[in-house]
């Protein structure tokens, strides 16, 4: 099975590759469309800023590649946000896979949210064996609103989508690669899809 981690101007790819190794999967880091298209599983990770990330994807023509993928795709953190329609971060038009807005947290709590928080209202195969209200590791200042594609929710200042799913596209706001055994379960479940 060929697993490609999309390479773009975003941090955190190395920890995703290490997490895959821990579950016995060798990931290939690539920004080549033919390599991405020939993969069995694709991970679209991200720590960074939406507008510069989208600019890079468009320059490399990776936006159209990602939108047209038919195999399972997992967006992580910024990767998930970029799969939404629009982000308030840099007033950015994103990939539009999920018809949702990504908004900036506004409230008394500290932003970005950094640390462990629970996920609930879990739906779908990605969460097989994961406990309702289990804890995941988050680092983000923007969130995807709740819509029909939400398959997990979290509360920080307000309820938001901490996981999304539509057809072959999956997204998680938290970092499974930094979320201990529960994150490993999610990565293993993704590999089984």
**String of DSSP letters for 78-106:** HHHHHTEEEETTTTEE---SEEEEEEE--
CB 102 within 8 A of CB 94: yes
Strand partners, 29: 5
The residues annotated with a catalytic role in the active site are: 77, 175, 177
Which 3 state secondary structure label does DSSP give 136?
strand
**Rounded alpha-carbon distances, angstroms, from residue 169 to 112, 118, 179, 193:** 25, 22, 21, 11
Q: Angle of helix 13-22 relative to helix 180-192, nearest 10 degrees?
A: 80
Collect all residues with Cβ–Cβ distance below 8 Å to 111 and sequence separation of at least 6.
Answer: 104, 105, 141, 157
């Amino acid at each position: 099975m060929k697993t490609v981690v999309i390479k773009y101007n975003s941090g955190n790819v190395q920890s995703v590759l290490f997490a895959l190794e821990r579950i016995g999967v060798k990931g290939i880091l690539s920004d080549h469309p033919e390599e991405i298209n020939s993969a069995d599983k694709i991970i679209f990770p991200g720590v960074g800023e939406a507008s510069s990330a989208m600019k890079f994807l468009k320059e490399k023509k990776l936006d159209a590649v990602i939108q047209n993928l038919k195999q399972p795709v997992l967006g992580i953190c910024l990767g998930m946000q970029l799969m939404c329609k629009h982000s308030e971060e840099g007033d950015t038009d994103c990939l539009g896979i999920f018809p949702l807005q990504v908004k900036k947290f506004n409230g008394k709590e500290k932003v970005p949210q950094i640390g462990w928080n629970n996920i609930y209202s879990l739906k779908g195969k990605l969460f097989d064996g994961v406990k309702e209200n289990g804890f995941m590791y988050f680092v983000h200042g923007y969130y995807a609103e709740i819509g029909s594609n939400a398959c997990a929710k979290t509360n920080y200042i307000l309820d938001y989508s901490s996981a999304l799913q539509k057809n072959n596209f999956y997204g998680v706001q938290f970092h499974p690669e930094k979320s201990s055994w529960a994150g490993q379960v999610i990565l293993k479940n993704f590999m089984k899809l």
